[in-house]
Amino acid sequence: MRMALALVLAAVLFGVPATQADESGKPMYGRWGFDAAGGDPSVKPGDDFFRYANGHWLDTTQIPSDKAAYSLRLQMSDRIEERLHQMMEGAAAHTEHRPETLEGKVGAFYKSFMDEKRIESLGGDPIETELDDVRDATTREALAGLMGRWTTNFEGTLFGTYIDVDLKDPSKYAVYLGQAGVGLPDRDYYLSAEFAGTKAKYQDHIAAVLNLIDWPEADARAADIVAYEARLAEVSWTKVQERDLNAVYNPMTIAALKKLAPGFAWDAWLKSAGLSGVRRVIVNEKSAFPKLAKIFSETSIVTLQAWQAYNIADNASPYLSRAFADEYFEMHDKTLSGQPSQQARWKRGVHAVSGGDALAGERSNSFGNLQWAVGQLYTAKYFPASSKAKIEELVDNLKAAYRARIQALDWMGRATKKEALKKLDTYVIKVGYPDKPRDYSNVVVTDDDLIGNVQRAAAADWAFYVGRLNGPVDRQDWIMTPQTNDAYNGSLRDIVFPAGILQPPIFDPNADPAINYGAAGAIIGHELTHGFDDQGRKIDAAGALRDWWTAKDAKTFEARAKVLGAQYSQYEPLPGVHINGQLTMGENIADLGGVTLALAAYRASLHGKPAPVIDGLTGDQRVFLGWAQAWRGKLRDDALRRQAVSDPHSARNFRVIGPVRNIDAWYDAFDVKPGDKYYLSPADRVRIW
């Protein structure tokens, strides 16, 4: 097993043409891929391995004023952002008013965002039609109809929807419905005294936005809106509840939906969402739906109108005049994430056209854009087809190596292993960019209509998903754009490594092999492990939600996962702010699996020979340091608080400390002893994959 895994990872990490690497043959960081000067050797590894590897960098690096965080991964995103900037500036300089080419449309969209003079002259006029529709919506049925337009416009909605593979019939797509309606990141922001100050600022923000659109009695309506959303938050599911795949799978007919949640005009909502022909939906937070609908039916029309007007204006604010954009920044970036300064206009323009990524999840950045068109242009320039083909072939072989790893597990019985291996064999590895480009030929883009460009792009995107609803599932589909600096394990049993993530410090062909194993190798292992984390393990080889585990093996897995969750729940990214071990369970399991797999692969790659010692560091030490450097970074306190309550990923320091303290080799590599802060006795170390 180790030999096969080593050969695959060695090829993946060191045999790929380096389109994004330093052609001088030198690694980007340090002499051999690790920036040792960024560490703090005065800290014992067993007391804080994150600071040991990154302490000097943490102490001397300032978070830029236009960011809520900074890290080596964000430096990667900055490089991508600058490339996109140059690409869009060039396209904008040569575009027509209403271009037909892909490059021309990207350029015209960007040009429309950068035309500050025109945008400033328009003020809030571009959304006046939508606001007039709200003023005319004097019944709850009419307001429900407006909510259905959220898929293609700026409206808010009480219930969100998306189209994805049916979890119990993976040969078909299904319409999923989920709770929505609140504007703050999590229900805790409304219900916990810890966030009382933030909630008060949110109310002020709503009033300010309503004043910008001359909505009557803005202050009073803002108070009503916050009270309304607080009621919604109180009956909404927690993010931990939403992680349970069995709990959120509740298929029903439209007739049953109406019976479940009366008091909401479902026909009007479905019609506006372009889903009037749908006969079956899958409801996520089933017990919340009747309560949400009841609150809607009890809330005054005046409050609901003001709530919708606010949502339209707030969602559109990044595309409107400075007064709107600045108010949006003050709430969503400064208050919620602690970011002192707004990004430069060109950066916001790049994200408006290219879409959100792992660093920008706000709807304004992931809604109504040309993200797949940008991905085609980006990869054509920075990720040649020859690289894509070679990586795909090599990473596909990684599945065979992981197969041997599952076979060697000492806690899993034969029957469960058989099913696990069947599932592993179905995984599709996708690298770089999709084989099938998205068609933008019918999307109208002009260089003087920013709001219209956003709306038309959103409509085209939603039409794409609705249009394939009754067709066969596309196994080659991607849900993450090529320019994204991230990776994922998806519902199609697919593992995706976009072109954007294949750069230092994650992947550097000029670095010491151990560093690449600790970074890229661990991330590959992380994504593979996601298919077998606490929720991924519930999906079988056909991609269906089904229990394929023996009772004994499931009990063993759950017991080990519970111990891991308890460990993470003890961690405090800030004093008094704890990680939620249940919310972050899947990512924590994947991190542990990824680092364990990477270390085993590196050792096997040595073919029985001793690892070279570099600057006094052993091979094992360098693997762990590669993982630690990959997560080198820092967040502002407000962003950390937000992450703790709403993000399924643990704080970055514990993404380093949490896995390694459960791996025996880390103790040997760094002489971690009883009495060190993060020492765990062998019996207390969690071993899953």
Q: What is the 3 state secondary structure string of 207-251? A: HHHHHHCCCCCHHHHHHHHHHHHHHHHHHCCCHHHHCCCCCCCEE
Alpha carbon distance 12, 34 (integer Å):
19
**Cβ atoms of 203 and 222 closer than 8 Å:** yes
Q: How confident is the model at residue 521 (pLDDT cuts 50, 70, 90)?
A: confident
Residue 689 has pLDDT above 80, yes or no: yes
Mean pLDDT of 314-318: 97
**Cβ atoms of 486 and 500 closer than 8 Å:** yes
Q: At 545, give phi and psi (nearest 5°).
A: -75, 105
In terms of C-beta density within 10 A (0-12 exposed, 13-18 middle, 19 or more buried), how is residue 569 classed?
middle
Lowest mean pLDDT among 12-26, 387-401, 556-570: 12-26
Mean pLDDT of 344-363: 74
Topology classification of domain 2-65+384-445+467-684: Collagenase (Catalytic Domain) (3.40.390)
**Cβ atoms of 595 and 627 closer than 8 Å:** yes
What is the structure's pLDDT at 391?
56
Residue 20 has pLDDT above 90, yes or no: no
Lowest mean pLDDT among 134-143, 312-321, 429-438: 429-438
Q: What is the strand order of the sheet 159-166 is part of?
A: 159-166, 169-179, 280-283, 250-253
Alpha carbon distance 57, 34 (integer Å):
12
Six-digit token string for 40? 């703090």
C-beta atoms surrounding 679 within 10 Å: 14
How many residues are present in the chain?
A: 689
Residue 1 has pLDDT above 50, yes or no: no
DSSP 257: H
More confident residue, 353 or 509: 353
Alpha carbon distance 268, 247 (integer Å):
27
Half-sphere exposure of 312 (CA within 13 A, CB side): 32
Residue 524 has pLDDT above 90, yes or no: no
pLDDT tens digit sequence for 40-76: 999 999 999 999 999 999 999 999 999 999 999 999 9
pLDDT tens digit sequence for 644-656: 999 999 999 999 9
- Provide the CATH number for the domain formed by 126-319 in this structure: 1.10.1380.10
pLDDT tens digit sequence for 124-134: 999 999 999 99
CA proximity to 539, closest of 474, 597, 494, 594: 494
CA distances from 326 to 67, 206, 241, 570 (A): 15, 13, 35, 38
pLDDT tens digit sequence for 241-257: 999 999 999 999 999 99
Helix axes 2-14, 585-605, angle to 10 degrees: 90
Look at residue 253 and give its three-state secondary structure: strand
Residue 22 has pLDDT above 80, yes or no: no
In percent, the amount of the chain with pLDDT more than 90 equals 82
Taking the CA atoms of residue 85, residue 88, residue 94 and residue 99 in that order, the dihedral angle to the nearest 10 degrees is -170
Q: At 177, give phi and psi (nearest 5°).
A: -120, 140
Residue 411 has pLDDT above 50, yes or no: yes
pLDDT tens digit sequence for 205-234: 999 999 999 999 999 999 999 999 999 999
Q: What pTM, to 2 d.p., does this model score?
A: 0.90
Residue 8 has pLDDT above 50, yes or no: no
Q: At 96, give phi and psi (nearest 5°).
A: -90, 175
Residue 538 has pLDDT above 80, yes or no: yes
pLDDT tens digit sequence for 479-512: 999 999 998 888 888 888 899 998 899 988 889 9
What is the structure's pLDDT at 24?
64
Average pLDDT score over the chain: 92
Q: Is 70 left (phi over 0), alpha (psi -120 to 50) or beta?
A: beta
Half-sphere exposure of 433 (CA within 13 A, CB side): 25
Alpha carbon distance 69, 555 (integer Å):
39
Name the residue ranges covered by the structural domains of the chain.
Answer: 2-65+384-445+467-684, 126-319
